[in-house]
Amino acid sequence: MSTPESARGSGPRPEGRSGAAAGLGSRRDWRAWSPALRASVAFGIVGAVLLILGVVSGATPVLIAATAAGSLSLVAALVWRSQLIEAWRKETGRPTRQW
């Protein structure tokens, strides 16, 4: 029994949508991701590895580095989120915030 193309996720993307609504492209095409998303993922992976190493070794400096990497991952994710919201506001015609 064959699964339709759109059900497998390899079908066409919805037109006129950006970011999470349109998908991030294929996972193999990470170069198409925004720099903030790539930074968030990279810092998250580094932080997770350092956290595991810190717990196993009991080294406090490694745990501090893991916490720093996790914090940078969070900041990068928040930047990416703000970029998604800004793009959504432009697409829907809603006014952007002028802080």
Q: In the chain, where are the structural domains located?
A: 33-99
pLDDT tops 50 at residue 6: no
Res 85 pLDDT > 80: yes
Residues, the chain: 99
- Give the CA distances from residue 84 to residues 11, 19, 34, 80, in Å, rounded to whole numbers and listed in that order: 23, 6, 10, 6
pLDDT of 18 reads 52
pTM of the model: 0.65
Looking at the predicted structure, is the pLDDT value of residue 2 above 80? Answer: no
Please list the helix, strand and coil fractions of the chain in percent, rounded to the nearest 5, in that order. 65, 0, 35
**Average pLDDT value for the chain:** 80
What pLDDT is attached to residue 28? 67
Section 56-85 average pLDDT: 96
Average pLDDT value for residue range 69-84: 96
> How far is residue 51 from each of residues 12, 58, 59, 68, 77, measured CA to CA in Å?
39, 10, 10, 10, 19
pLDDT of residue 65: 97
Q: Is the pLDDT of residue 36 over 80?
A: yes
